[in-house]
Structure 1
Amino acid sequence: MNRLFGTRSSAPKASLGDALNNIDERISSLDVKISKLNSELTTYQQKLSRMRDGPGKNSVKQRALKLLRQRKQLEAQKDQLMSQSWNISQAQMTTDNLKNTMITVDAMKRSNKELRKTYGKIDVDKLEDMQDEMIDLMDQSNEIQDALGRSYDVPDDVSESELDAELEALGDEVEANGELEGESMPSYLTDSAIGADTDKLPNFIDEDQTDAEKKEMVAQ
């Protein structure tokens, strides 16, 4: 069977990139050949410019014409290869764009699937009810704070006349307390008592006595 139909090749198939590289190499090879022909044609042109008309000049012209035909053929091949290279580049670009598009689409599909799983577990109605309940709790908390901060038996307004009366009453109370403290002090400790008896200080035994005082004590 293998002899009739042959064996299936196991070699990897060439990609667009491989084909493009092959064409670029062929174009580079043609550029080298064309450059060589241009150099030879330049040499013939210089030679013909110095030759006189005759059989020798005609022979050189024939060789130059032959090189010119070869160059045109090579340039035609180069143009074809450059067209192929351009087409392959466009095909490769289109393929890459399609691959990128497929990757993007696949990523979007996976993302949408995950989003559906995530948001599918959320009940919007329950979420709104929870928000309403939180608002009610905050209102209740504010009411409780207001109630705890309420003051008792405090007049809303106090006039200047009431303030003057209160200050005068406090002054009278301070004077009355001062008088009571003065009366409770013993009379012998007051400044008046001390000042009155300043001239008659008591004599102490330990102090020196005069002769008259000693005689009076002996007589007693």
Structure 2
Amino acid sequence: MKRVFGAKKNKEPPPSIQDAAERINKRGESVDEKVKNLDAELAKYKEQLKKMRPGPAQEAVKARAMRLLKQKRMYEGQRDMIYNQAFNLDQVSFAAEGLKDAQQTMSALKSANKDLKGMMKTVKISEIDSMQDEMMDLMDVSTEIQESLGRSYNVPDYIDEEELMGELDALEADMGAETEADSVPSYLQPEKEHDLESELNLPSIPSGQQVPAQAEDEFGLPRVPRASIRG
């Protein structure tokens, strides 16, 4: 059977856009190199023509230069077509890469959508609301515990309004009495000088008589008679 119909040949995969672009770029580089070589030869013929006199030799050089110029124009035309093909391949490659990115984005979105649906099944709004209510109850209990622990044992819980007003009136009266007496508190007022005459009960001096001068001791104080000391 193989001899009659022949064996089936394996088809080679078609070239990719990248492979085609690389091949065309190599062709373009080869054509560019040929154009550069022709430019160099034309420059040499141009220098020769400047130095040559009109005649058969000059005409021969002109013919060679014209032939090279035609080749250059042909290569330049090929180069333009190659550049256009490379540009088209770049556009196709850009579009293909954009489609690949779109496919990957769609795949990622589908996977994320599937994951979100799975997570939404495990999360229920009713459970969240119940948990919030429990948290509020726990916070209220915690507040009651803190208030109970912070209760003072010495301050009465209830004070009569009349008792409070009486305490305020008494405090106001005390403050007013201190203000009328003196703005300076009593414990800051200077002590009054002692009246020595009243403490000693000395007799008054008759009018028209002079008190005899008394001798003073070494400390500048009046010397007391010895008779009064003996008593």
TM-score using structure 2 length = 0.62
1:108 aligns with 2:109: yes
**Using the alignment, how far apart are the partners of 1:154 and 1:71 within structure 2?**
113
Offset from partner CA, 1:26-68 (integer Å, 9 cap, x none): 1111111111111111111111111111222122111111110
1:129 aligns with 2:130: yes
CA drift at 1:11: 2.4
**Using the alignment, how far apart are the partners of 1:96 and 1:30 within structure 2?**
29
The verdict on how the C-alpha distance between 1:97 and 1:22 changes in structure 2, with shifts beyond 3 A counting, is same
- After the TM superposition, which of the residue ranges 129-138 and 13-22 deviates more from structure 2? 129-138
Identity %, equivalent residues: 38
Find the counterpart in structure 2 of residue 41 from structure 1. 42
Q: What SS does the corresponding residue of 1:49 show, helix, strand or coil?
A: helix
Q: What SS does the corresponding residue of 1:12 show, helix, strand or coil?
A: coil
CA drift at 1:16: 0.6
Q: Structure 1: any 5+ residue segments left out of the alignment?
A: 162-220
Find the counterpart in structure 2 of residue 10 from structure 1. 11
Letter in 2 for 1:10: K
- After the TM superposition, which of the residue ranges 145-154 and 42-51 deviates more from structure 2? 145-154
Find the counterpart in structure 1 of residue 224 from structure 2. none
**Using the alignment, how far apart are the partners of 2:7 and 2:32 within structure 1?**
39
Find the counterpart in structure 1 of residue 205 from structure 2. none
**Using the alignment, how far apart are the partners of 1:94 and 1:135 within structure 2?**
58
The verdict on how the C-alpha distance between 1:128 and 1:155 changes in structure 2, with shifts beyond 3 A counting, is closer
**Using the alignment, how far apart are the partners of 2:35 and 2:7 within structure 1?**
42
**Using the alignment, how far apart are the partners of 2:141 and 2:16 within structure 1?**
74
CA drift at 1:10: 3.1
1:78 aligns with 2:79: yes
The verdict on how the C-alpha distance between 1:53 and 1:6 changes in structure 2, with shifts beyond 3 A counting, is farther
Find the counterpart in structure 1 of residue 148 from structure 2. 147
Q: What SS does the corresponding residue of 1:145 show, helix, strand or coil?
A: helix
Moved over 6 A (4+): 1-6
Letter in 1 for 2:84: S
Q: How does 1:163-182 map to 2 (within 5 A)?
A: none
Structure with more helix by fraction: 1
- After the TM superposition, which of the residue ranges 71-80 and 128-137 deviates more from structure 2? 128-137
Q: Structure 2: any 5+ residue segments left out of the alignment?
A: 160-166, 171-231
CA drift at 1:6: 8.3
Find the counterpart in structure 1 of residue 211 from structure 2. none
Find the counterpart in structure 2 of residue 94 from structure 1. 95
Letter in 1 for 2:104: I
**Using the alignment, how far apart are the partners of 1:132 and 1:105 within structure 2?**
41
**Using the alignment, how far apart are the partners of 1:83 and 1:131 within structure 2?**
68
The count of aligned residue pairs is 162
**Using the alignment, how far apart are the partners of 1:63 and 1:5 within structure 2?**
55
CA drift at 1:132: 1.6
CA drift at 1:122: 0.9
Letter in 2 for 1:20: A
Letter in 1 for 2:148: A
